Amino acid sequence: MTSLVLGPLLRYVDDTTATVWVETRDAAEVIVVAGGQRASARTFAVHGHHYALVELAGLTPGSRTPYVVDVDDAQVWPSTDPAFAEFPPSVISTLQPGKPLRMAFGSCRVSVDHDAAGTEQFGVDAMRAYALFMAGITESGSEDPGERWPDLAVFLGDQVYADETSDEMRAFIEQRRDPEQAPWFELKDYEEYAHLYRLAWSDPANRWLLSTLPTAMIFDDHDIRDDWNTSWTWRQDMESTSWWHDRIVGGLASYWVHQHLGNLGPEERAVDELWKRITAYDGPEELDVSDAVDALADRADQHPETYRWSYSRDFDTQARLVVIDSRAARVLEPERRSMLDDGEMMWLDAQLQGDLDHLLIGTSLPYLLAPGLHHIESFGESIAEGAWGGPGRRLGEWARKRADLEHWGAFERGFRDVAGLVLEVAAGRRGRAPRTITFLSGDVHHSYVAEAWPRDGVVASRILQAVCSPIRNPLPRGMRGFTALAAKRATGKVGRLLSLSGRVPREPIRWSVTEGPWYDNNLAVLELAPAGLRLWWNAGEVVDNPERPVLTRVATVDAIG
């Protein structure tokens, strides 16, 4: 039995450093060797699981170096499992300063089998199709989808589904508790989350991809539960149950271990209090941080101002990526609602600056939803806040929960605050205006591009929204016509009239959907080309063998900055 349970995942990589994450079967020392560089880390324990995060330094900029992973004295990666026989060695590809950034992104991926039955129900896993293409096992089925190797992939939410569980996950739940009791077949605690991550990241093609393509991540609702933090009453309802506390603590604790730590660069990780405790430990036995990570998760849920899940990173002077937590940092109290609390907004204010070529803003929920949908949500918020009096307030709050009115339009205060910051950057009042300011998002199970303009005045930057969703979890066909209608300009005008009836002030920006929507399972790629910004959406198509889908191009959009 191999001592490597899960991984390796290649996480934060810059021009000279790289971070490798693993889960091992037992307490151990994990060693990573890449070329002439060697680094090691002891595992730390969380609820009976053993993890290590190994930080390599001194790598050569712009290099692509195969690496190996040892657990204690035994090599565990590359794997000798025949399932990996076709895949090339995993490599660490460091960034090359000045090279145009190429970034894959997407969201919403269920973890089910890739056989004919799984494909029939959920379509082709676009991430897996891209992995097979990157590995050279399959080729493009149509127009060349571009270079095989992005510099990194950004996964914008719903990496795992804690509430809509697969047959494999349900079988695991049945082995340890009675699913007739709450929380039924939804996840209960850390142990079940650990198993869910194992299901999500163990398919050989996806496991190889995650071992060789650097990744950054942020949660969305299904990582915890559908409509997480939709409203004050939603949260009250959850906290009144017997099971929610274990769910939210298990979800955020496992997120810290499996996703958040690897999002951070060495300097940001070095100031994390819990990580400092892990790296400073020098005792004879493995350090168990179960209680500490649970306490962090509980505190972050009850007092979100105490911990920041958002992060940012620069790619020399050409781009900054700012990834926003649009779930845990919400202000839910009626009449104070905002997608971001005051501390989070202050942090974002500091990140949104000019003097670079492109500003990229990752937020799981589309900032620029189709205008018709945005205005409906802002109308719902306005009546929930009393625009139509007491009866309207109760109706608005009921509709907010019932109809999932929980995007940026339903947190109009936060939407306006962010619009103000973006317009200042675009107008050159925060340094030289970027060529483009692009929101990258997922969540809505269809893909599109929107463009925004100031309602008053002129800006120097193009303001765009690019959505890629789902990677694998298609929108029901009955909803596709509705979303296509919502993207039309006429629907936006009708929605605006509705929001005016709720006395919603005009937003400081105007926008419209310019490309799409597309409904394929997709993984998008963004490239900062010399002419501006280029995006394309890739899907997998079964030609002969459902286990080996061919990568196809769904759409290409060139945005000249």
| Relative orientation angle of helices 244-255 and 290-302, to the nearest 10 degrees | 110
Domain edges within the chain: 97-242+284-560
Q: What count of other Cβ atoms lies within 10 Å of the Cβ of residue 559?
A: 21
Domain 97-242+284-560 fold is Purple Acid Phosphatase; chain A, domain 2 (3.60.21)
What average pLDDT score do residues 8-22 get?
98
Q: What is the pLDDT of residues 239-263, one digit of tens each?
A: 999 999 999 999 999 999 999 999 9
Residue 145 pLDDT > 60: no
Query: Residues 559, 551: contact at Cβ < 8 Å?
Result: no
* Res 142: pLDDT: 54
- pLDDT confidence bin for 146, thresholds 50/70/90: low
What would the DSSP string read from start to end of 240-272?
TSSSHHHHHHHHHHHHIIIIIHHHS-HHHHHT-
Residue 399 pLDDT > 80: no
Out of 70-79, 178-187, 376-385, 386-395, least confident range: 386-395
What average pLDDT score do residues 289-304 get?
98
Residue 188 pLDDT > 60: yes
Q: What is the pLDDT of residues 344-377, one digit of tens each?
A: 999 999 999 999 999 999 999 999 999 989 988 8
Please name the residues in contact with 403: beta carbons below 8 A apart, sequence gap of 6 or more. 380
* Res 524: pLDDT: 97
Helix (H, G, I), strand (E, B) or coil at 202: coil
Q: What count of other Cβ atoms lies within 10 Å of the Cβ of residue 101?
A: 20
Counting residues of the chain whose pLDDT is more than 70, the rounded percentage is: 94
Q: What is the pLDDT of residues 84-131, one digit of tens each?
A: 999 999 999 999 998 999 999 999 999 999 988 899 999 999 999 999
Mean pLDDT score of the chain: 93
* Res 137: pLDDT: 92
Please name the residues in contact with 173: beta carbons below 8 A apart, sequence gap of 6 or more. 165, 179, 185, 187, 188, 192
Residue 143 pLDDT > 60: no
Within 282-388, where are the H helices? 290-302, 342-351, 371-384
Residue 100's closest CA among 323, 317, 264? 317
* Res 425: pLDDT: 98
What would the DSSP string read from start to end of 474-512?
PPPHHHHHHHHHHTSHHHHHHHHHHHHHTTPPPPSEEEE
What average pLDDT score do residues 316-325 get?
94
* Res 384: pLDDT: 73
* Res 495: pLDDT: 67
Out of 157-161, 237-241, 279-283, 383-387, least confident range: 383-387
**Burial classification of residue 100, based on how many CB atoms lie within 10 Å of its CB (0-12 exposed, 13-18 middle, 19 or more buried):** middle
What average pLDDT score do residues 529-554 get?
90
Residue 254's closest CA among 286, 294, 225? 294
Cis peptide before 454 (omega within 30 of 0): no
What is the Cα 388 distance to its own chain's centre?
37
Q: What count of other Cβ atoms lies within 10 Å of the Cβ of residue 302?
A: 11
